[in-house]
């Protein structure tokens, strides 16, 4: 069986094991018992804005848990960032009499205070790393005595704790598992930095013989001096013992002591790599003088060596390897950061299946299950602490950054997948003191000095990995201040072709950076384009949020990354869409640069990566769009009721053949791993089959069923249409929350439909090519439909056969005050504040002499950035040219979307 496949099965087994933990609550690992302590916590918010009764209200929750799942998605800016309490009970058992009880908290964002029976035991700051607390001495230790365990958690802004700001949501909660470790008086321990207390370094010499150095810490909580034996055993993937070493230690009473143990001369072990992530197991035990096992820890070991070369890129086990993959945020739709391990692991399985070999764990340490999955699947990884955008110059901020960096390194040290420790991301994005240049220079110096201290700390903690800082595109600033000199690797987050510039600028930027820093290995730590899976465009343009533009963008970037040897690698931003509460745009609160959606469905961009990166033959029919009318002229009559569909096929084949309803349409050559095949289809279901050919031989196949809706052009001759939905003022297709497609707008042409006169709404003072506003439209999830608009329009016309119809008009006022912040991540910072005054707009809507509505004033009726819908029944009986006129009274009339429904068509002789 293929080793990766085996690992996948193991990962599924891990998922099942976690599941069974919650059912059976206890897992015994010879010598230490881990009791799941995640169920039945009483939770309440200490929200000062609530009244006394609401404040007392408790909820029973299971961990992982977050209190921000709903409020990050609502229309009210902000989410609860404040104090909360979690409380549980623990009944003492006599069998625990000689045990130490250690509470392990996987993560609590971001300040936590642990109280046992009302006494404060430990405060922990920082929301992304674990902490351990020995609570034994605080417990009532009589059979069945009830103990209260409370954890106060607060996710308020605290200027001394990173992150201070960021394009992601700081979900509050105890969002990783909590367990009770029942330990012997003598056990491995790291009370200060939350690790297991055991660090292992696997090294290979020039002849590929290996050594494992163990650095451990043992707690002797007993009152006696104790002689112990430490034994460590290396076992291969088949369970065969490779080597065993032992060492005696004397432990003083009430002591915490360190030991070193070396396992040398491991002859030519199997190497770990993305193709073959071979893992050994290292079992380390403590025995007492009578041979009784006191504690045991198991770790995976992967033997590998690696290096970065500024000219030639990355090398693993002596071979060049281009690092390509994605960054990952940890949240998931409907769960915030409280995501079960099984779903987290699924992300890594998807990254591997995409053909990726590298994960940037951004912008903070994530669940250990993520790194375990990287070890098993053969994904290399970088992990970083959340110093994002800016720092505080306080000593407390620096101290806490050091603590976080140490916690991260010690807790994750043993993962063979990790090759890089990072500690800053775009730290000059929000430079303080913009109006005082001298003070600003001082601030820059503080940042550089903090970076230098973190660098030294990291190298002291771990001399086997590289260090990294990720910067944004303002090269000169990072260079001039000296920040680029500090880390061993410099990462660049580059977005030309998205926030500004052209896709083609990316290659030039890389050349420039390399020229300026020829001695520094270079990684592209971010690049990406929003791809709202509901938005499609035939002629995609920058910032239209269409999946099609994102595909084009990633093609351009991948070509450059692959071609330039000095680029060690690149990671797409981001593996999946993620929550960023302050963002608005087409999908408010979501950054849609994911290759997967927020609930991890594949977008076409994901398939593109598969076509670029998968080594074996690959073919996949992507998500389609572009169903258009067939009948435009008499010459087209044969196509009556047909539509053109843009069929995207992703493949690494030499050529691709397409079969439509079993009839071959010929073969085409993929360009940049893709064919866009325009196919004419009649209404209804069709099968499309794409066949891949490598060297003239059939190498793969994909099949898809298409249910084809056709947008009518000629409403009279085309008898089959039922409904026409137009995304007015927009040239993109949009799929709404009910699954209905809204089609691009068009100017009126005789015999068809469309607008007469009018101008598309444009965001003012922006370098972007925004189609419409980027402000959240309140009260709807279908923002893209209402964010675009036609202004100054005279009428909307339909040439219709006689009959009964229903017309629905949709309006949203897009000018005026809104509570949107300027979008921070516009890296070119071109956007200026919007016109805050607001325009008063009043108009009538008429059909001929009939007034449908008078004095329509959307702002007055519903407010700005809210939807007003108006529905009217219509009768057409003059073989009609239906013209809905918009008569200006004040300001300019406008329209955002229109829907025409056929109720009953008269039978014409």
Q: How far is the CB of 459 from ligand GCB (least distance, A)?
A: 24
Task: Identify which of residues 533 and 886 has a Cβ nearer to ligand GCB in the complex.
Answer: 533
Note whether 405 binds ligand GCB by CB under 6 A: no
* β-strand partners of 660: 663, 688
- What is the contact mask toward ligand GCB in residues 142 to 171, using x (rule: CB under 6 A)? ------------------------xx----
Task: Identify which of residues 469 and 726 has a Cβ nearer to ligand GCB in the complex.
Answer: 469
The whole-angstrom separation of Cα 199 and Cα 405 is 15
Task: Identify which of residues 573 and 629 has a Cβ nearer to ligand GCB in the complex.
Answer: 573
Provide CB contacts within 8 A for 623, sequence distance 6+: 533, 547, 603, 604, 648
Note whether 426 binds ligand GCB by CB under 6 A: yes
Q: How far is the CB of 363 from ligand GCB (least distance, A)?
A: 6
Q: How far is the CB of 32 from ligand GCB (least distance, A)?
A: 38
Q: How far is the CB of 692 from ligand GCB (least distance, A)?
A: 33
- What is the contact mask toward ligand GCB in residues 497 to 536, using x (rule: CB under 6 A)? -----------------------------x----------
3-state secondary structure 174-215: ECCCEEEEEECCEEECCCCCCCCCEEEEEEECCCCCEEEEEE
Note whether 337 binds ligand GCB by CB under 6 A: no
Task: Identify which of residues 585 and 745 has a Cβ nearer to ligand GCB in the complex.
Answer: 585
Q: How far is the CB of 130 from ligand GCB (least distance, A)?
A: 23
The whole-angstrom separation of Cα 725 and Cα 712 is 10
The whole-angstrom separation of Cα 331 and Cα 69 is 10
* β-strand partners of 664: 659
The whole-angstrom separation of Cα 629 and Cα 1 is 51
Q: Which of 196, 382, 484, 493 binds ligand GCB (CB under 6 A)?
A: 493
The whole-angstrom separation of Cα 42 and Cα 57 is 10
Q: Are 603 and 623 in contact (CB under 8 A)?
A: yes
Task: Identify which of residues 426 and 455 has a Cβ nearer to ligand GCB in the complex.
Answer: 426
Q: Are 760 and 788 in contact (CB under 8 A)?
A: yes
CA distances from 709 to 300, 317, 680, 683 (A): 53, 53, 12, 6
Half-sphere exposure of residue 145: CA atoms within 13 angstroms, side-chain side: 14
Query: Residue 783 is inside which H or E element, if any?
Result: helix 783-787
Q: How far is the CB of 108 from ligand GCB (least distance, A)?
A: 22
Task: Identify which of residues 475 and 843 has a Cβ nearer to ligand GCB in the complex.
Answer: 475
Note whether 390 binds ligand GCB by CB under 6 A: no
Task: Identify which of residues 664 and 822 has a Cβ nearer to ligand GCB in the complex.
Answer: 822
Q: How far is the CB of 473 from ligand GCB (least distance, A)?
A: 9
- What is the contact mask toward ligand GCB in residues 710 to 749, using x (rule: CB under 6 A)? ----------------------------------------
CA distances from 884 to 183, 525, 703, 874 (A): 78, 52, 44, 11
The whole-angstrom separation of Cα 894 and Cα 745 is 14
Note whether 425 binds ligand GCB by CB under 6 A: yes
Q: Are 379 and 401 in contact (CB under 8 A)?
A: no
Q: Which of 591, 604, 780, 834 binds ligand GCB (CB under 6 A)?
A: 591
Q: Which of 472, 620, 683, 866 binds ligand GCB (CB under 6 A)?
A: 472
Task: Identify which of residues 526 and 718 has a Cβ nearer to ligand GCB in the complex.
Answer: 526
The whole-angstrom separation of Cα 610 and Cα 54 is 51
Q: How far is the CB of 370 from ligand GCB (least distance, A)?
A: 18
The whole-angstrom separation of Cα 34 and Cα 24 is 11
Q: How far is the CB of 230 from ligand GCB (least distance, A)?
A: 43
- What is the contact mask toward ligand GCB in residues 22 to 61, using x (rule: CB under 6 A)? ----------------------------------------
* β-strand partners of 34: 27, 181
- What is the contact mask toward ligand GCB in residues 841 to 880, using x (rule: CB under 6 A)? ----------------------------------------
Restricting to residues 562-581, name those near ligand GCB by CB under 6 A: 573
Provide CB contacts within 8 A for 91, sequence distance 6+: 144, 145, 146, 147
Task: Identify which of residues 115 and 361 has a Cβ nearer to ligand GCB in the complex.
Answer: 361
Note whether 589 binds ligand GCB by CB under 6 A: no
**Which phi and psi (to 5°) does residue 812 adopt?**
-145, 130
Note whether 593 binds ligand GCB by CB under 6 A: yes
Task: Identify which of residues 273 and 471 has a Cβ nearer to ligand GCB in the complex.
Answer: 471
CA distances from 594 to 74, 328, 472, 604 (A): 21, 9, 19, 11
* Pairing of the two strands 674-682 and 323-328: unpaired
Q: How far is the CB of 717 from ligand GCB (least distance, A)?
A: 47
Task: Identify which of residues 426 and 782 has a Cβ nearer to ligand GCB in the complex.
Answer: 426
The whole-angstrom separation of Cα 263 and Cα 283 is 12
Instruction: Please calculate the CA angle 337-341-342 and round it to the nearest 5 degrees.
Output: 120
Task: Identify which of residues 81 and 593 has a Cβ nearer to ligand GCB in the complex.
Answer: 593
Task: Identify which of residues 345 and 381 has a Cβ nearer to ligand GCB in the complex.
Answer: 381
Q: Which of 188, 825, 843, 865 binds ligand GCB (CB under 6 A)?
A: 825
Task: Identify which of residues 41 and 573 has a Cβ nearer to ligand GCB in the complex.
Answer: 573
Q: How far is the CB of 571 from ligand GCB (least distance, A)?
A: 11
User: How big is the site for ligand GCB, counted in residues (CB under 6 A)?
Assistant: 11
- Helix ranges, 367-504 (H): 368-377, 395-412, 437-461, 475-480
Q: How far is the CB of 388 from ligand GCB (least distance, A)?
A: 7
Task: Identify which of residues 161 and 814 has a Cβ nearer to ligand GCB in the complex.
Answer: 161
Task: Identify which of residues 580 and 652 has a Cβ nearer to ligand GCB in the complex.
Answer: 580
Task: Identify which of residues 282 and 551 has a Cβ nearer to ligand GCB in the complex.
Answer: 551
CA 787 to chain centroid, in Å, comes to 24
The whole-angstrom separation of Cα 243 and Cα 881 is 88
Per residue in 451-488, is it b (16+ CB within 10 Å) or e — as a string? Answer: bebbbebbeebbeebbbbbbbbbbbebbbebebbbbbb
Query: Residue 784 is inside which H or E element, if any?
Result: helix 783-787
Q: How far is the CB of 508 from ligand GCB (least distance, A)?
A: 19
- Starting at the edge strand found earlier in the chain, the sheet holding 119-125 runs 59-61, 41-45, 83-91, 146-154, 111-116, 119-125
- What is the contact mask toward ligand GCB in residues 67 to 86, using x (rule: CB under 6 A)? --------------------
Q: How far is the CB of 685 from ligand GCB (least distance, A)?
A: 38
Task: Identify which of residues 471 and 699 has a Cβ nearer to ligand GCB in the complex.
Answer: 471
* Pairing of the two strands 535-536 and 522-526: unpaired
Binding site for ligand GCB (CB under 6 A): 166-167, 425-426, 472, 493, 526, 573, 591, 593, 825
């Amino acid at each position: 069986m293929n080793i990766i496949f085996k690992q996948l099965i193991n990962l599924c087994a891990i998922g099942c094991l976690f599941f069974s933990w919650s059912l059976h609550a206890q897992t015994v690992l010879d010598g230490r018992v881990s009791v799941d302590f995640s169920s039945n916590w009483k939770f309440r918010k200490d929200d000062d804005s609530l009244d006394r009764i609401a404040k007392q209200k408790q909820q029973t929750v299971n961990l992982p848990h977050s209190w921000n799942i709903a409020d990050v998605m609502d229309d009210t800016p902000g989410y609860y960032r404040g104090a909360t309490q979690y409380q549980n009970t623990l009944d003492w058992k006599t069998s625990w009499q000689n045990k130490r009880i250690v509470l392990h908290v996987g993560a609590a964002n971001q300040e936590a205070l642990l109280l046992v029976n009302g006494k404060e035991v430990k405060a922990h700051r920082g929301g992304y790393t674990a902490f351990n607390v020995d609570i034994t001495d605080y417990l009532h230790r009589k059979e069945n005595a009830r103990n209260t365990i409370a954890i106060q958690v607060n996710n308020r802004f605290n200027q001394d704790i990173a992150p201070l700001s960021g394009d992601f949501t700081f979900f509050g909660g105890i969002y990783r598992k909590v367990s009770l470790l029942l330990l012997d008086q003598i056990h491995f321990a790291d009370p200060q930095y939350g690790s297991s207390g055991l660090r292992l370094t696997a090294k290979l010499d020039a002849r590929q013989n290996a050594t494992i150095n163990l650095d451990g810490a043992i707690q002797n909580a007993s009152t006696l001096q104790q002689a112990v034996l430490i034994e460590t055993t290396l076992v291969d993937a088949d369970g065969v013992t490779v080597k065993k070493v032992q060492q005696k230690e004397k432990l003083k009473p009430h002591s915490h002591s360190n030991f070193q143990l070396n396992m040398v001369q491991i002859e030519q072990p199997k190497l770990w790599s993305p193709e073959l992530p071979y893992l050994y197991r290292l079992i380390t035990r403590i025995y007492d003088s009578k041979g009784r096992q006191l504690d045991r820890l198991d770790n995976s070991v992967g033997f590998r060596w690696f290096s970065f070369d500024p000219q030639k890129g990355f090398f693993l086990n002596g071979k060049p390897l281009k690092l390509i993959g994605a960054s990952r945020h940890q949240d998931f739709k409907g769960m915030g950061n409280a995501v079960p391990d099984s779903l987290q692991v699924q992300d890594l399985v998807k990254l591997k299946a995409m053909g990726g070999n590298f994960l940037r764990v951004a912008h903070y340490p994530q669940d250990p299950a993520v790194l375990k999955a990287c070890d098993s699947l053969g994904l290399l990884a970088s992990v970083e602490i959340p110093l994002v955008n800016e720092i505080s110059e306080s000593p407390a901020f620096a101290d806490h950054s050091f603590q976080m960096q140490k916690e991260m390194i010690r807790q994750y040290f043993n993962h063979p997948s990790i090759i890089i420790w990072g500690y800053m991301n775009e730290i000059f994005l929000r430079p303080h003191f913009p109006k005082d240049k001298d003070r600003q220079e001082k601030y820059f110096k503080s940042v550089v000095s903090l970076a230098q201290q973190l660098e030294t700390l990291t190298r002291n903690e771990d001399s086997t990995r590289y260090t990294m800082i990720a910067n944004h595109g303002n090269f000169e600033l990072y260079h001039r201040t000296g920040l680029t000199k500090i880390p061993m690797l410099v990462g660049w987050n580059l977005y030309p072709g998205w926030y500004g510039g052209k896709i083609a600028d990316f290659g030039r930027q890389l050349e420039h950076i390399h020229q300026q820093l020829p001695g520094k290995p270079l990684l592209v730590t971010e690049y990406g384009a929003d791809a709202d899976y509901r938005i499609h465009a035939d002629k995609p343009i920058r910032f239209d949020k269409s999946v099609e533009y994102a595909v084009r963008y990633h093609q351009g970037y991948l070509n450059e990354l692959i071609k330039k040897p000095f680029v060690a690698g690149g990671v797409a931003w981001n593996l999946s869409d993620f929550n960023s509460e302050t963002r608005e745009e087409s999908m408010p609160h979501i950054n849609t640069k994911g290759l997967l959606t927020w609930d991890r469905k594949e977008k076409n961009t994901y398939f593109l990566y598969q076509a670029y990166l998968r080594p074996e033959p690959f073919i996949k029919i992507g998500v389609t769009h572009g169903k258009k009318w067939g009948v435009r002229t008499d010459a087209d009559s044969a196509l009556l009721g047909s539509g053109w569909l843009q069929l995207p096929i992703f493949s690494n084949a030499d050529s691709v053949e397409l079969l439509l309803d079993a009839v071959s349409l010929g073969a085409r050559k993929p360009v940049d791993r893709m064919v866009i095949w325009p196919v004419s289809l009649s209404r209804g279901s069709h099968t499309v089959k794409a066949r891949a050919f490598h060297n003239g031989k059939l190498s793969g196949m994909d099949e898809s069923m298409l249910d084809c809706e056709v947008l009518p052009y000629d409403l009279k001759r085309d008898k089959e249409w039922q409904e026409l939905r137009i995304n007015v003022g927009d040239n993109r297709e949009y799929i709404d929350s009910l699954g209905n497609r809204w089609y691009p707008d068009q100017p009126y042409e005789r015999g068809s439909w469309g607008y007469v006169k009018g101008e598309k709404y444009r965001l003012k003072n922006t370098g972007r090519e925004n189609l419409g506003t980027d402000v959240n439209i309140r009260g709807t999830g279908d923002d893209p439909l209402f964010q675009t608009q036609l202004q100054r329009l005279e009428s909307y016309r339909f040439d219709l056969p006689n009959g009964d119809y229903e017309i629905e008009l949709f309006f949203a006022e897009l000018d005026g005050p809104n509570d949107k912040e300027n979008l921070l991540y516009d890296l070119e910072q071109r956007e200026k504040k919007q016109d805050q005054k607001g325009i008063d707009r009043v108009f009538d809507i008429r059909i001929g002499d009939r007034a449908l509505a008078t004095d329509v004033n959307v702002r007055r009726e519903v407010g700005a950035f809210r939807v007003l819908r108006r529905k009217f029944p219509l009768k057409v009986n003059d073989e009609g040219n239906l013209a809905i006129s918009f008569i200006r009274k004040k300001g300019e009339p406008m329209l955002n979307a229109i829907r025409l429904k056929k109720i009953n068509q008269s039978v014409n002789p």
